[in-house]
Structure formats: C-alpha cells, structure tokens
C-alpha cells in the first residue's frame, strides 16, 4: 500500500475513534450535570420549604439568611416554595414581606442541622393581630415496610378545632390552631381524608384520592378561613416530606 493510502487509512481510523469517544463522553457529561443540579450546592444538604398561608397579607415573601436574600423570585400566598437548599446555616433565618421588607418570621436562637428538611408555615390574620408561624422539622424514622407516615398540621388562619378521618377512620382528633401531630403510620394505598369540625359530622373540606406510598413521609395541613368562598377558602393539602 502506498504512503498516501496508509495515511488516508490512519486518518479515517483516527476520526472513527474520536467519534466513538465523543458519543460515549456526552452522556457522561450529561449525567454529571444532572447529579450536580440535584445536589446541595454547599454540601450541607439542609432544605427549607416556605408556605405563605396568611390570606390578608397580600404581599409575597422572601427568604433571608444571615441578612442576605436567598431567592430570586418571591413566594406567593397558597403555593409551597418546594424544598430549597440553604447556602448557609448561619442565623438569623428570616422570612420578610417582599415589598415592605418587614420581618414576618425570624429564627436566630437555634442552629439548623445538616441533612435535615424543614417547613415554615406563615399563617394567622394581620387584621386580627394573629399573624404567626409554625416551624417544623420534616424528618422522622422510616415507616415499616408496606406503610407510609402522615402527620397533621392545623395551619388555617382562623380555625375551629378539627377531626381528621382517613377512609372513614379517625386519624387525628380535636386538633386546634397550630397543632402539629406526630407522624402516624398508615398502610400504603389511596385515601380519602375528610376534615370535620370537632365532635360533629360537618365536613369542612375533603381531600380524596390521595396516594400514600410505601416508605414515604407526608404532612397533611389545612389553610384558609372556614366559611370563606374565595381564594382564602378553607382547604386541605398534602406535602411529601420524603
């Protein structure tokens, strides 16, 4: 074979090798990027979920840690922020009104822990001087195989005491405003959660067709005002904590 032929064969093989290497390398890069996007940016693995449930506080809210704003987009009424990785565990941790920069919630006395999830519910009514917050840790021991875990938080801004039934069986009874229960194990399945006014058959709200999955942790909570029919109507929602 001539030198020209040998060089041509060598170049073709080289190009073929580079093409194969590129095909194998691109998925590797993509996989690394996905892992980076899903990981804690600081290695703390501490996450916070913010739920604005104060119906007459019409302004969105922001998150500040160590006096520095952490979010690019403010959090609005009724919509959970989803778990946000914290860039620092420094104090104070503050929730502020986005427009007035008013501090609505501040936690500076107790340090947050690594590898832990938290939720803060902002609730109550400004007009009645009952604005307050509920700060909870969203971790617990894993349920037994075949079970999930559910707890209940009464975060309604102006709430009566309530009972909670799961598929017709009382799960939580006589829970007043700001009540936070322990996690309760339930067999995995589909549930109809009904919220009753305590001691009556009056259904205040209903959360049907709710899946409880094996090994998962959930928080069932109330929001809004009993008797309202607008965006601040009394309702129940559920969060997946794990």
Q: Could you read off the pLDDT of 49-108 as tens digits, one per residue?
A: 999 999 988 789 999 998 899 898 999 999 999 999 988 888 899 999 988 788 988 988
Asked if residue 154 lies in contact with residue 181, where contact means CB atoms within 8 angstroms, the answer is no
Mean pLDDT of 177-190: 97
Give the tens place of pLDDT for each residue, 156-183.
Answer: 998 889 999 999 999 999 999 999 999 9
For the domain made up of 143-242, give the CATH fold.
Answer: Immunoglobulin-like (2.60.40)
At residue 34 the predicted structure's pLDDT band, cuts being 50, 70 and 90, is very low
Asked if residue 128 lies in contact with residue 158, where contact means CB atoms within 8 angstroms, the answer is yes
User: pLDDT at position 15, please?
Assistant: 43
At residue 40 the predicted structure's pLDDT band, cuts being 50, 70 and 90, is low
- Give this prediction's pTM: 0.81
User: pLDDT at position 87, please?
Assistant: 85
Q: Report residue 199 as tokens.
A: 């001691």
Question: What is the DSSP track for 54-104?
Answer: -TT--S-EEEEETTEE--SS-B-BT-----EE-S---S-EEEEETTT--EE
CA atoms within 13 A on the CB side of 38: 6
User: pLDDT at position 156, please?
Assistant: 95
Least confident of 11-15, 128-132, 151-155: 11-15
Strand partners for 105:
95
Question: What is the DSSP track for the chain?
Answer: --HHHHHHHHHHHHHHHHHHHHHHHHHHHHHHHHHHHHS-SSS---EEEEEE--TT--S-EEEEETTEE--SS-B-BT-----EE-S---S-EEEEETTT--EEEEE-SS---TT-EEEEEEES-TTTT--EEEEEE---PPPPTTEEEEEEEE--TB---EEEEETTEEEEEEE-TT-BPPPEEEESEEEEEEEEETTSS-EEEEEEEEEE-TT-EEEEEEESBTT--STTB-EEEEEE--
> What is the Cα–Cα distance from 180 to 154, expressed in whole angstroms?
7
**Residue boundaries of the structural domains of the chain:** 42-139, 143-242
User: pLDDT at position 219, please?
Assistant: 98
């Amino acid at each position: 074979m001539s030198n020209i032929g040998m060089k041509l064969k060598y170049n073709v093989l080289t190009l073929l090798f580079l093409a194969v290497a590129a095909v194998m390398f691109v998925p590797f890069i993509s996989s690394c990027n996905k892992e980076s996007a899903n990981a804690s940016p600081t290695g703390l693995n501490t996450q916070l979920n913010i739920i604005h449930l104060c119906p007459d506080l019409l302004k969105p809210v922001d998150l500040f840690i160590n006096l520095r704003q952490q979010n690019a987009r403010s959090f609005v009424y009724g919509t959970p922020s989803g778990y946000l990785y914290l860039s620092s565990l420094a104090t104070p941790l503050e929730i502020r009104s986005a427009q007035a920069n008013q501090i609505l919630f501040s936690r500076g006395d107790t340090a947050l822990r690594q590898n832990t999830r938290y939720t803060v519910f902002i609730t109550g009514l400004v007009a009645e001087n009952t604005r307050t917050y509920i700060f909870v840790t969203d971790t617990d021991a894993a349920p037994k195989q075949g079970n999930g875990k559910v707890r209940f938080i009464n975060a309604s801004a102006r709430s009566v005491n309530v009972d909670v039934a799961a598929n017709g069986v009382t799960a939580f009874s006589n829970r007043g405003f700001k009540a936070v229960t322990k996690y309760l194990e339930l067999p995995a399945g589909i549930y109809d959660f009904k919220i009753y006014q305590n001691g009556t058959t009056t259904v205040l709200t209903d959360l049907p067709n709710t899946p409880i999955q094996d090994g998962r942790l959930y928080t069932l909570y109330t929001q809004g005002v009993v008797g309202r029919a607008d965006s601040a109507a009394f309702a129940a929602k559920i969060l997946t904590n794990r």
